[in-house]
Each structure stands twice: as C-alpha cells, then as structure tokens.
Amino acid sequence: MAYVVAKVLLHGALDPMHFRDTALTDPATHALAGRVRTESDGNPDPNALAPQTVTMHLSDGRRLTRQCATMLANPTRPLGRTRHLDKFRRCWHAAVDRPPPGDRERLIDMVGRLETPLDLRELTPLLAE
C-alpha cells in the first residue's frame, strides 16, 4: 500500500505502468513509500476496498484527511465511457504480450455492439492469445 500511495502522490494517479520495469525500483517512490504508514480499520474482510480514510500529517503541523465511501468504478460511482476506455487502453498498453493497437480498437468497437447480432468468431481471436 505504501508503494501505491507514493505513486499517486508523485504522479497524481496510479497507472498500470507503475508496476512494470524501472518504475518498480524508482528511488523517489521508495523514499516516499518509506514515510507511509498503514493501519487497519478493523474491517474483517481483508479484500474490502472501501470505505477508506487517508490522513496526511504535513511538516508544518497540518493534518489533511480524505474519506472514500465507495471506490471509483463501483456501479454506484461509474467511470463514464471516456474514462473507462482510457483505463482499458492503459491496461492494454501495460500487457506484456499484447496484440497490436488495431486489435484493441476493434475489440472496443465489437464490445460496444454486443447487443446487436454479432459473429462471435470475430470476437474470440481478439480475446485469446
């Protein structure tokens, strides 16, 4: 969790590429992560993503707190199409053995038309390697 918090603080957001190659050994990330402390809130579900509370203690004595009751992309807090597709494209880019971007865009188009008649023989090659 400390690594994730450090990446968000340094980059403004978390990206799948933060878990690849030299990003994993970035000295600035690890220096900041060493200053992060996590505490259990007592939730018996170790996989619970929410609720969460983040508190930052600043060197000038201020304390900033942010609470999150529901994670982004939860059905009650959807991403929206543009952000959803941006996330999909970033994840596709982070994949080690990914097909070409043209296949990515064809897959997006086909999934967007799933409620219309579709020949699944066109879809399956885009999903399997």
Single-letter residue type at 13: A
For CA atoms 22, 26, 30, 32, give the dihedral sign. Answer: negative
Tens-digit pLDDT string for the chain (129 aa): 899 999 999 999 999 999 988 999 999 999 999 999 988 888 898 888 888 888 989 999 999 999 999 998 899 999 999 999 999 998 888 886 777 777 888 889 888 888 887 777 877 777 775
For CA atoms 13, 56, 74, 94, give the dihedral sign. Answer: positive
The domain segmentation of the chain, as residue ranges, is: 1-38, 81-127
Pick from 44, 45, 17: nearest CA to 29: 17
> pLDDT tens for residues 2-27?
999 999 999 999 999 999 889 999 99
Report the predicted TM-score, pTM, of the whole model to 2 decimal places. 0.71
**Contact call for residues 54 and 71 (beta carbons, < 8 A):** no
Angle of the 120-127 helix axis to the 101-112 helix axis, nearest 10: 130
Q: What is the DSSP string of 44-67?
A: S-TT---SEEEEEE-TTS-EEEEE
**Contact call for residues 129 and 99 (beta carbons, < 8 A):** yes
**Hey, is 111 helix, strand or coil?**
helix
Pick from 9, 115, 81, 80: nearest CA to 18: 9
